[in-house]
Amino acid sequence: MFGFGFDFMYILFIAPALILAMLAQWMVRSAYQQMSQVRASMSGYEAARRILDAGGLQSIDIEQIPGQLSDHYDPGAKILRLSPEVFSGHSMASVGIAAHEAGHALQDARGYAPLRIRNLAVPAAQFGSSFGTILLMIGMVMVFGNLAFLGKWVFLAGIVAFGATVAFQLVDLPVEFDASSRAKVQLVNLGIISGPELPYVSKVLNAAALTYVAATLQAVLTLAYYIFRFMQATSRER
């Protein structure tokens, strides 16, 4: 019977994602540290600025924000925000990350459909991640308690809400991979890096991409676990 305590079945479901997530984090840190030692011809800010300007996006501002690897593009404010190490760093790691975020700005300007869908899905994903989880917890307690009939519908509502988070993760994957692809092309085409230097940048971007894969896998497997528990609870009523 399931309660709020330890559930070994949940660990079995998400174990592959947890292992992949730990591997991805190690790879990101390792790649970033290694590529931070390989010098680039310009800073992350300069690389991002050149990519944006070449794409006709002179109106997109670039600002420095605190934190480590806190880099992101804000489609609402039309601002590219870079962490101090990426903003000022003259390394392959800094250039690669800055170019990736500039890739998101290019997606936004070109009307890249998956990015638009992702931006529209953000409120639903936030709702599913918070309120959906609450419904799932309440529903499971009710289902495996004395309020099975009502709990089943609460549980199902939680699954649907959490499904919005999973959908967001699935849409996010092509967005991130495409941004990295755009970054690599622009870095070489604009002469920011040479062809032989591309593997250095790719090492950082590929490691970062693995973290998105791990997050998506964990969301999918977590949803599978909740569906399994719902089916288990439903079968108990027969």
Q: List, as one string, the DSSP characters of 190-221.
A: TTSS-GGGHHHHHHHHHHHHHHHHHHHHHHHH
Q: Does 46 participate in catalysis according to the annotation? A: no
**SS3 of 142, please?**
helix
Phi and psi, residue 89, nearest 5°:
-70, 135
Residue 177's Cβ-side half-sphere holds a number of Cα atoms within 13 Å equal to 10
Q: Which of 101, 176, 197, 237 is catalytic?
A: 101
Q: Please name the helix (run of DSSP H) or strand (run of DSSP E) that holds residue 231, with its range, or none.
A: helix 198-236
91 closest CA partner among 124, 47, 122, 152: 47
**Mind telling me the catalytic residues?**
101
